[in-house]
């Protein structure tokens, strides 16, 4: 979750606007909560983010990758 949030923070604002289907800000904020320990970190929130949000993110991001057949 830390790596995903940090990576999302490095995505340009222009690209984020082009792809609102990705919850960029949610991942960035969640990373900041974990990294800087704002309040009590609930293990069930981390578990849900890891088991639900990450697979959902993966399914959205995989669609944004260029098609390998286009390179040939």
Residue 50 lies in a domain: yes
pTM: 0.71
Task: Render pLDDT for 10-60 as a digit per residue (tens, 0 to 9).
Answer: 999 999 999 999 999 999 998 888 887 765 656 777 888 889 888 999 999
pLDDT for the residue numbered 72: 56
Pick from 60, 50, 67: nearest CA to 24: 60
Residue 69 lies in a domain: no
pLDDT for the residue numbered 19: 96
Full residue range of the structural domain in which residue 16 is found: 2-64
- Residue 67 has what DSSP assignment? P
Residue 70 lies in a domain: no
Number of domains in the chain: 1
Pick from 56, 50, 52: nearest CA to 21: 56
């Amino acid at each position: 979750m830390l790596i995903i949030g940090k990576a999302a923070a490095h995505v340009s604002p222009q690209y984020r606007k082009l792809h609102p289907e990705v919850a960029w800000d949610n991942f960035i904020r969640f990373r900041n909560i974990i990294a800087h320990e704002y309040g009590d970190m609930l293990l069930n929130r981390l578990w849900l983010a890891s088991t639900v949000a990450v697979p959902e993110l993966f399914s959205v991001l995989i669609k944004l990758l260029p098609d390998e057949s286009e390179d040939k």
